Structure 1
Amino acid sequence: MLVDGEINLLVVYENIDDANRLINLLRNASYTVHSTVVETPGDLVKLLKQQRWDLALVEYESQTVKARDFMSQIKKLQLDIPTIIITSDSDPTATVEGMRIGADYVLKMDEDQYFLLAVTASLANFKQRSKQEYWKKRYLESESRYESLIDGSSHAIAIVQDGTFVYMNEEYARLFGYEEPDDMVLLPVIDTIAESSQAGLKPYLKPLSLEESVASAAIDIDGIKPDNGQVHATLNIAQVLYQGHPALQFLVPKEQLSPPHAERRQNMGPEALSFIQPKRVLDGLSKAILKAGRTEQQSLALYIRVDQFNEFRQSSGPASAEQLFAILLDHMVETTPTAGMVARYNEDTFVMLLDIDTLDEGREYAENLCRNIATKTFSAGNESVALSLTIAVAILNDAVESPLECINQCEQALAEGPQGLGQIGSEPRVYCCESRPDYKIKSEQQIIEFAQSLLANRGIGIAFQPIAALKGDIAEYYEVLMRPKTEEYPDDVPSDIIERVFKTKVAIDIDRWVILEAVKALTDKLVRHPQTKLFINLSAATIQDAGFSAWLKVALQATNISPTQLIFQLREIDVGRYFDQAVKLIQQLEQLQAKSALTHFGLSINPILVLQRLAVGFVKIDPVIVEAAKKGGEPAAPMEALLDSVRKLPTLVIVPFVESPAILPTLWQYGVDYIQGYYVQEPEDDMAYDFTEEG
Structure 2
Amino acid sequence: MPTPSQKPTLLIITSETSEAERLMAVLREARLAERSLSIPSADHLDKVIAERSCDLILCCGYDRDVEVDKVLSAYKRLKTDVPLILLAEPEHWEADAGKARRAGARDIVRRADPEHLRLSVTREIADWNARRAAEALNGRLAQCEQSTLRLTEITGAGVAFVQDGLHIDVSATYARLFGQSATEDVLSMPLLDLIAAEHHQAIRDLLKSTDLSDSSTTRLLDVTCQRVDASRFEARLLASPSEFEGEPCLRLILQPIETAPAQVSAAPDAISATQGAAGMAALIAEIETHIDEQRLVTRPFAIFFIRVEKILDVMHDMGLSLGLELLDEFGGTLSALVGERGFLTRVSEDGFGLIVDGLDELGAQTLAAELSAQARLPVRAAVQDTTVPDCQIGYFLVRDRASAPEDIINTAHRLCIGHRYDSDGVNEQEHSLTKGEDEEAAIAHKIEYALRNDQLKLVYQPIISLMGDNQENYSVLLRLLDEDENLLEAKDFIGTATRCGLIEALDKWTIRSAIEVIGKQRRAGHNLSLFVALSEDTFKNPNTLLWICDCLREFDVRGNWLTIQFQEDVVVGNLASISKLVETLRKIKCRVAISRFGATERPEMLLQALSLDFVLLRPALAQGLADDAAKQQRLLQLATLAREFNVKSVVTGVEDARALTVLWTAGVDYVQGNFLQRPSPTLEVQA
User: What TM-score bracket applies, with the shorter chain setting the length?
Assistant: 0.3 to 0.5
TM-score by length of 2: 0.36
Q: TM-score, normalised by structure 1?
A: 0.36
